[in-house]
A = this chain, B = another copy of it.
Amino acid sequence: MTQRPDDDEVLDRAEKAAADIRSSIISGQFTPGSRLSEQALGDALGVSRNTLREAFRMLTQEGLLVRRPHAGVIVAVPSLASIIDIYRVRRMIEVQAMRAAPPRHPAGRQLASAVEAALAARAAGDWAAVGTANMEFHRAIVSLADSARLDRVYANVSAELRLAFGIIDDPEYLHAPYVDRNASVLRAHEEGRSGDAADELDAYLIQSERTLLAAYARRDRDAAR
């Protein structure tokens, strides 16, 4: 399902380490601001310091890690500015991809199956799976643009976004309201109403941003005690 036999999936150890760290960050095991020691993490992942440093370089460029000279790398700490910026990029890419989407694009299948998966997961009460399906839905939207570079940019932004999602611990609150909206966007797209689909998506993203910003402000206030 997730395999891509045509793609050259020969990962070297640095790439594997980067993938490991990335998923640890996204899953919340490494919390924002926490320091990653080269020695300790290298031992844990079974790679040398040099190799780990290559992984750090990649993740730093992706914005998931931040380097502080001579003081190690830390997991990036989402800020109000970064959340706003991420949504700016999302809106620019997703809305335009949807608006210009050709009718029978192959990615349409992926959109549909992501919506199906989200509905099924919601019925089962599996909110984590709802979240995964939701992310997949938006990834598929971007792939409507048929641009390898946009896909890559979006993958990065998406990882940063999940990092920011970490400030909300309730996945239901985070993803539940959007399952039906996804379905509505999909319907508009399938019926050839690309403009409607794009407009709905835009409103959707604006609201999603507001929700996240509000949660951030709330947590910030609480953290200040």
Question: Which bracket fits the contact residues of A?
Answer: 20 to 34
Instruction: Name the distance in Å between A94's Cβ and chain B's nearest Cβ.
Output: 11
Name the residue on B nearest A157 (C-beta): B149
Q: Is the CB of B150 within 8 A of A89?
A: yes
A-B contact pairs, 8 of them (CB 8 A): A57-B57, A81-B148, A85-B148, A86-B149, A88-B147, A92-B92, A92-B93, A153-B153
Tell me, in angstroms, the Cα distance from A50 to B69 when the chains sit together: 18
> Is A145 part of the binding interface, using a Cβ–Cβ cutoff of 8 Å?
yes
Interface of A, helix, strand, loop or mixed by DSSP: helix
Annotate A87-98 by CB proximity to B: 1 below 8 A, 0 otherwise: 011001100100
Of the candidates B12, B61, B85, B145, which one forms a contact with A147 in the assembled complex, judged by CB atoms under 8 Å apart? B85
B residues near A148, Cβ cutoff 8 Å: 81, 85
Known: A57-B58, A58-B61, A96-B96. A85 touches B149 (CB 8 A): yes
* Chain B residue at minimum C-beta to C-beta distance from A60: B58
Point out the residues of chain B lying under 8 angstroms from A62, CB to CB. 61
A28 → chain B, closest Cβ, in Å?
A: 22
Contact assessment for A89 and B50 in the assembled complex, using a CB-CB cutoff below 8 Å: no
Q: Are B85 and A14 neighbours in the complex by a CB distance under 8 Å? A: no
Q: Hey, which chain B residues are within 8 Å of A61, CB to CB?
A: 58, 61-62
Mark interface residues in A54-98 (1 if CB within 8 Å of B CB, else 0): 100110011100000100000000000100011011001100100
